[in-house]
Amino acid sequence: MTIGKVWFVTGASKGFGLALVKLLLLNGNKVAATSRNAADIEKQIPDHSENLLPLTVDITNGESVDKAINQAVSTFGRLDVIVNNAGYFILGSVEALTPQEFRQSMEVNVFGTFNVIRAAMPFLRIQQSGHIINISSIAGYKGNGNAASYNAAKFAVIGLSEALAEEVKPFGVKVTVVAPGLFRTSFLDKGTFMVAQNRIEGYNSEVLETAMRQINGNQPGDPDKLVAALVKLAEEKNPPVHLLMGPDAYQILTDARKAETAEIESWKHITLATNLDK
C-alpha cells in the first residue's frame, strides 16, 4: 500500500474524490483535497488529521489553482500524485445546447484538468518524479447522442493525457488516463448531472434523461474498488497510459473498436486513393 505520498485530488467532496481521500488518509498519506467549498470536505471528514489540507478551489480559474498547488507544496513539501477528478455533465443535443452550456462542460472537464497540470508540472519536473492521473470516462472513447458536450470534453482529456505522457516522460513523470464505466457514485445526482434548458422535439433527449435517472443508484461499479485500484496504480513503476475501469467500460470500448475497424476497412478504397499520382 502506498504510504507517505503527497496527493492532490480535485473534486474531493463527493464521489470518487471523497472515497479516495478517505482511503489515502486511512493509509497514512498526505492529501491536498479541493472542492468549490472546502467546508464540504470538512463536513464529510470532520475529525481529520494534519495530513488533510482541504482547499476551496475553482479549477476553471488558473489563479485559484496556482494558489492551491503552491499551498499544497508549502504545507507538505512536495507533490507525488495528482488526481484530476472533478467533473461536470450536461445532457442535451448539440443543437439544443447553448454555447454557455457547452463551454461550461469544457471549462470544468478540460480546462480544469489543464489548469491543475500546468500548475503542478514545474514542481514535478524539478523533482523528476510524480504521477498525474486524469479521470476521463468511457464516454471519452465512444460518443452517445445527447451527451456530446461530455463526450467532447472526455475525448479531449484522453488526447491531452496521451500527449502529456510523451512530453513529461523525460522528467520521470508518469501519466495515466482512467476511463470508468458506470459506478455507484453521486455523479448522476442533481447538481452534477445537468440538463440543457432548451429541448428540441425529435432528438428524444428525454429518453436518455429518463434512462440516466433510472440508472442512478443502480450502477454496477463499486467506487471503493476503483479508488483502491488508483492507490495501487500509484505504486506501479511502469503504469499504463490508458486504464479502463469496469466490465461495462471494457465491453463498450471493445465493441466500439470492432465497429470502428470494420468501418475503416469498408472505406479504405477511398482512404488509400488520396495520395498524389506518381
Tell me the mean pLDDT per 10 residues along the chain, length 278. 83 94 96 96 91 98 98 98 94 95 97 99 98 97 93 98 99 98 70 79 77 69 92 97 96 97 98 94
Please state the length of the chain.
278
Please report, for the chain, the start and end positions of each structural domain, with discontinuous segments joined by +.
6-247
Please give the Cα distance from 259 to 214 (Å, whole number). 28
- Contact (CB, 8 A) for 62 and 119: yes
Tell me the pLDDT tens digit for each residue of 60-86: 999 999 999 999 999 999 999 999 999
The pLDDT, as a whole number, for residue 1 is 47
The pLDDT, as a whole number, for residue 189 is 64
Tell me the pLDDT tens digit for each residue of 227-263: 999 999 999 999 999 999 999 999 999 999 999 999 9
The pLDDT, as a whole number, for residue 192 is 62
Q: Is-catalytic flag, 150?
A: yes
Q: Is-catalytic flag, 250?
A: no
Tell me the three state secondary structure of residue 199. Answer: coil
Nearest to 49 by CA among 34, 29, 35: 29
Pick the CATH number of 6-247 from 3.40.50.720, 3.40.1390.10, 3.40.50.300, 3.30.1360.120: 3.40.50.720
Nearest to 60 by CA among 12, 129, 106: 106
Which residues touch 25 (CB under 8 Å, ≥6 apart)?
31, 45, 48, 49, 51, 52
The pLDDT, as a whole number, for residue 277 is 92
Q: Is-catalytic flag, 278?
A: no
Please give the Cα distance from 238 to 67 (Å, whole number). 31
Nearest to 173 by CA among 241, 111, 244, 115: 241
For 121, other C-beta atoms within 10 Å of its C-beta total 20
Nearest to 138 by CA among 20, 257, 21: 257
Q: Which residue of the set 14, 105, 142, 150 is catalytic?
A: 150
Q: Which residue of the set 14, 22, 154, 174 is catalytic?
A: 154
The pLDDT, as a whole number, for residue 174 is 99
Q: Which residue of the set 35, 64, 93, 136 is catalytic?
A: 136
